[in-house]
Chain A
Amino acid sequence: MNAQQKMGYLITEQLISELPAFKSANSQLEALAGQFKKQLTDKENVIRQKVKEAEAKAPTLSPTQIKTIQEDLAKDQQALYADEKRYQQDLAKKEQELLDPIYNKVRTAIESVAKNNGYSYILEGSSLMFADDADDIMPLVKSQLGL
Chain B
Amino acid sequence: MKMKRIIQITLFAAIFTFLGVQDAVAQKVGHVNAQSIVYELPEMKQATSNLEALAGQYKKQLQTSKEKLEAKLMEATIKQERGELSPSDIQRIQQELGGEEQALFKKEQEYQQQLLKKEEELTGPLYEKIKTAINDVAKENGYSYILDATAVLFAEEVNDITSKVKAKLGM
Contact = CB atoms under 8 A, between A and B. Distances in A.
Most buried by A among B142, B154, B156: B154
Interface residues of B, number: 14
B152 A3 contact: no
B19 to A, nearest CB: 15
B155 to A, nearest CB: 5
Interface residues of A, number: 19
Contact of B156 (A12, A120, A123): A120
A114 B159 CA distance: 14
A2 B151 contact: no
B1 interface: no
B26 A124 contact: no
B31 interface: yes
A50 B111 CA distance: 49
A7 B154 contact: no
B29 A7 contact: yes
B169 interface: no
A132 to B, nearest CB: 15
Contacts of A124: 151-153
Interface of A: 2-5, 7, 9-10, 12, 107, 110-111, 114, 119-124, 127
26 contacts: A2-B28, A2-B142, A3-B26, A4-B26, A5-B26, A5-B29, A5-B159, A7-B29, A9-B153, A10-B153, A12-B153, A107-B153, A120-B29, A120-B155, A120-B156, A120-B159, A121-B29, A121-B31, A121-B147, A121-B152, A121-B154, A122-B152, A122-B153, A122-B155, A124-B152, A124-B153
